Chains A and B, each alone.
Chain A
Amino acid sequence: MDAIRAVIVDDEELARSIIREYLADHVEVELVAECSNGFEAVKAVTELKPDLLFLDVQMPKLNGFEVLELVESDLVVIFITAYEQYAVKAFEVHAVDYLLKPFSRERFDEALTRAKEKLERREYPPQQEIISSARPKGETIERVLVRDGSRVFVIPAEKIDYVEAQDDYIAIRSEGKTHLKKQRLSDLQALLDPKRFVRVHRSYILNIDRIARLELYAKDSRMAILKDGTQLQVSRSGYDKLKELL
């Protein structure tokens, strides 16, 4: 078997050092990178395609879940956290291994053994499900994260004009730029503030602050004219939802 290529992600040097120390006994694991924040982690995972990720939950810029959301690689994750009720519940529901700081060498070895078994079986964690169950119920997101290659863009929700479904992707329109992300439109819709973002059409989520006016376009069909002149189709049910909010 090839060496297991691993990446450690934690913003604290001391926390990284203990994993390094425990890993020293496992020659089959090759440490390919250490990252001290989420951006570095996304870059490292995208470029190095590791098999195993030791991922701290609380970090600057991007937390562990956001890192997981942004990487598409097939990899096994061992989460590390000091104390986080939501996270631990999500880990248990999805049988994801996690280490609670501080952890012993025995506990670490156990988690590593299970991770190796999963790697052999190519059993990768259901990333989106873990992320959504780790999020407190009913909480909306205030920013959307998009990765382009190994670069990460943070788009504040209020700067989104509209989102369009395009096959397996969604195109997020913000400040004159279009960002592509692999996500279902309905999944994103569930996360955005329903008072601000409306599914006006099967293919569009619209930020209602951007609407300049609505025009009748055909029977049962309307056009939303945005402040920048963009025209978006509005379905019958989309119009009903808009009427309620405007």
Chain B
Amino acid sequence: MHPILANQERLSIYLLGWLIFGVMLAAVLALPNDDFTWTEALAVAIPLTMVYGAICLSSWYVCRVYPLEKTPFARVLLVQALAGILTILIWAAIATGWATFLQRAFSFAGLQTHVLERAPLLIGFAFVLYSLTVAVHYLIVTFEASKESEQRELQSRIFAQEAELKALRAQINPHFLFNSLNSISALATQDPSAVRAMTLRLADFLRKSLRLGAQEFIRLEEEVSMSLSFLEIEQIRYGSRLQIDQKIDEVCKGCLVPPLILQPLIENAVHHGIAHMLDGGTITLEAEWRGSVLHVRIDNPIDPDRPRNRKGGLGLENVSKRLRAIYKDDAQLQTTETGDVFHSDLWLPAQTSLGFHRPAPVTAPPVIQE
């Protein structure tokens, strides 16, 4: 939408400006000599100036196609000069027609000749005003672009914070916590040393998630160890129904990832996968370094007949939102279902120190120093 046409206030100011230019033009025509009476001068200048103002609005479309910051300046100059000449020619034709019309209709003697005599003045006037309009349009374009990018920035910051908050809240899943406490309560009379083991695992998981959750990035091995702590606690609950298999490539362990990014995926694997299987199954956690990308995959069995859970997608959505807020388009989460296995694939830029888009050698991944 045209920034001036779309905004009534701007349009009024714009038209008022052109009206003033019209009066100025009339004064220039009428004052120095006897060729024009004031009536004649106003009749020539005001309508022509207003029409020209309308035509000049179209220069915005040229400004939009050739934005200053993305176009070489010489090109801007060339394009605008061509557009300007075209506009002035169109206006000149209209002006000639108008003068002829006025002369015939109102019998202003010699008006057409007088106007034609002032051609250099009129063309100069048109040139100055065209340039002015272009400048105003560029100002508006720049102003709106900066406003928009500011808004986008703000939006993405809000998203990031929101995702962060949800991630932190999700780290202590009430289901998980209460069920774990129930296991402890059950074990209390049966196996005191198991109670201790369970309490220690729970404390270990909570401590890790609190400490690491507060950081911006953590090493993949820390994230994985947190996931394993979680799974070990769930193993006490689910017994032999929950098996764990992990294959983390040595080079990946030092890669930096946002804390608790895997946690919702692991929780899903347990609560929407294992929990619905009568005989349970194995959760597989794999990580590999491919080119400049860290690929993490979590596989878990699913019951094809399970009721589709309304909350199932929420954890995944949070992970996606967080990835977008942190990496823009450079990270991705994808989930697929093949028969009775559910795969969550996570692709992140492989980086071992902060500073994004660090190119990693494709042939020989760097050795991570412990």
A: residues with CB less than 8 A from B are: 11-15, 17-18, 21, 36-37, 58, 60-61, 63, 82-83, 100-103, 136, 139, 142-143, 154, 156
Residues of A within 8 A of B179 (CB): 12, 15, 82, 101
Task: Give the distance in Å from the alpha carbon of A61 to the alpha carbon of B307 in the complex.
Answer: 8
Give the distance to chain B from A137, nearest Cβ to Cβ, in Å. Answer: 12
Are A102 and B181 in touch, CB under 8 angstroms? yes
| Given A14-B182, A61-B305, A102-B178, 15 additional A-B pairs, CB 8 A | A12-B237, A14-B237, A15-B182, A15-B183, A17-B190, A60-B276, A60-B303, A60-B306, A82-B174, A82-B178, A82-B179, A101-B179, A101-B182, A154-B305, A156-B305
Residues of B within 8 A of A63 (CB): 307
Are A100 and B278 in touch, CB under 8 angstroms? no
Measured CB to CB, the nearest residue on chain A to B238 is: A12
4 tightest A-B contacts by CB? A101-B182, A102-B185, A18-B186, A82-B178
B211 at the A interface (CB under 8 A): no
B189 at the A interface (CB under 8 A): yes
Residues of B within 8 A of A11 (CB): 275
Residues of B within 8 A of A36 (CB): 278
Residues of A within 8 A of B278 (CB): 36-37, 60-61
B: residues with CB less than 8 A from A are: 174-175, 178-179, 181-187, 189-190, 236-239, 275-278, 303, 305-308, 310
Residues of B within 8 A of A18 (CB): 182, 185-186
Are B310 and A12 in touch, CB under 8 angstroms? no
5 contacts between A and B (CB under 8 A): A21-B189, A83-B174, A101-B178, A103-B185, A142-B308
Residues of B within 8 A of A12 (CB): 179, 183, 237-239
Measured CB to CB, the nearest residue on chain B to A66 is: B307
Q: Contacts A61-B278, A102-B178 known; A13 to B239 CB distance under 8 Å?
A: yes
Task: Give the distance in Å from the alpha carbon of A143 to the alpha carbon of B307 in the complex.
Answer: 7
Q: Per a CB cutoff under 8 Å, which of B178, B184, B306, B308 touches A83?
A: B178
Residues of B within 8 A of A102 (CB): 178, 181-182, 184-186
Measured CB to CB, the nearest residue on chain B to A60 is: B276
Residues of A within 8 A of B182 (CB): 14-15, 18, 82, 101-102
Task: Give the distance in Å from the alpha carbon of A36 to the alpha carbon of B58 in the complex.
Answer: 75
Measured CB to CB, the nearest residue on chain B to A15 is: B182
Are A142 and B307 in touch, CB under 8 angstroms? yes
Residues of B within 8 A of A82 (CB): 174-175, 178-179, 182
Are A139 and B237 in touch, CB under 8 angstroms? no
Residues of A within 8 A of B183 (CB): 12, 14-15
Residues of B within 8 A of A156 (CB): 305
Task: Give the distance in Å from the alpha carbon of A141 to the alpha carbon of B28 in the complex.
Answer: 81
Measured CB to CB, the nearest residue on chain A to B187 is: A14
Task: Give the distance in Å from the alpha carbon of A63 to the alpha carbon of B276 in the complex.
Answer: 10
Task: Give the distance in Å from the alpha carbon of A37 to the alpha carbon of B238 in the complex.
Answer: 13
Q: Per a CB cutoff under 8 Å, which of B178, B275, B308 touches A100?
A: B178
Give the distance to chain B from A39, nearest Cβ to Cβ, in Å. Answer: 8
Residues of B within 8 A of A15 (CB): 179, 182-183, 186
Q: Per a CB cutoff under 8 Å, which of A21, A58, A83, A139 touches B275?
A: A58
Residues of B within 8 A of A61 (CB): 276, 278, 303, 305-306
Are B307 and A17 in touch, CB under 8 angstroms? no
Are A60 and B307 in touch, CB under 8 angstroms? no
Measured CB to CB, the nearest residue on chain B to A36 is: B278
Q: Per a CB cutoff under 8 Å, which of B186, B238, B303 touches A17?
A: B186
Task: Give the distance in Å from the alpha carbon of A37 to the alpha carbon of B190 in the complex.
Answer: 23
Are B277 and A60 in touch, CB under 8 angstroms? yes
Task: Give the distance in Å from the alpha carbon of A82 to the alpha carbon of B180 in the complex.
Answer: 9
Measured CB to CB, the nearest residue on chain A to B280 is: A60
Task: Give the distance in Å from the alpha carbon of A143 to the alpha carbon of B187 in the complex.
Answer: 37
Measured CB to CB, the nearest residue on chain A to B236 is: A14
Residues of A within 8 A of B187 (CB): 14
Measured CB to CB, the nearest residue on chain A to B277 is: A60
Are A60 and B275 in touch, CB under 8 angstroms? yes
Give the distance to chain A from B305, nearest Cβ to Cβ, in Å. Answer: 5
Task: Give the distance in Å from the alpha carbon of A136 to the alpha carbon of B307 in the complex.
Answer: 14
Residues of A within 8 A of B236 (CB): 14
Measured CB to CB, the nearest residue on chain B to A83 is: B174
Task: Give the distance in Å from the alpha carbon of A36 to the alpha carbon of B278 in the complex.
Answer: 8
Task: Give the distance in Å from the alpha carbon of A183 to the alpha carbon of B64 in the complex.
Answer: 65
Task: Give the distance in Å from the alpha carbon of A103 to the alpha carbon of B237 in the complex.
Answer: 16
Measured CB to CB, the nearest residue on chain A to B239 is: A13
Task: Give the distance in Å from the alpha carbon of A136 to the alpha carbon of B183 in the complex.
Answer: 28
Name the residue in B189, B236, B278 with the highest tally of chain A Cβ atoms < 10 Å from its Cβ.
B278
Give the distance to chain B from A72, nearest Cβ to Cβ, in Å. Answer: 22
Residues of A within 8 A of B181 (CB): 101-102
Task: Give the distance in Å from the alpha carbon of A14 to the alpha carbon of B190 in the complex.
Answer: 10
Give the distance to chain B from A154, nearest Cβ to Cβ, in Å. Answer: 5
Q: Contacts A60-B275, A136-B310 known; A14 to B186 CB distance under 8 Å?
A: yes
Task: Give the distance in Å from the alpha carbon of A100 to the alpha carbon of B174 in the complex.
Answer: 12
Give the distance to chain A from B236, nearest Cβ to Cβ, in Å. Answer: 7
Task: Give the distance in Å from the alpha carbon of A9 to the alpha carbon of B238 in the complex.
Answer: 15
Give the distance to chain A from B303, nearest Cβ to Cβ, in Å. Answer: 7
Task: Give the distance in Å from the alpha carbon of A36 to the alpha carbon of B308 in the complex.
Answer: 21
Measured CB to CB, the nearest residue on chain B to A104 is: B185
Task: Give the distance in Å from the alpha carbon of A39 to the alpha carbon of B277 in the complex.
Answer: 12
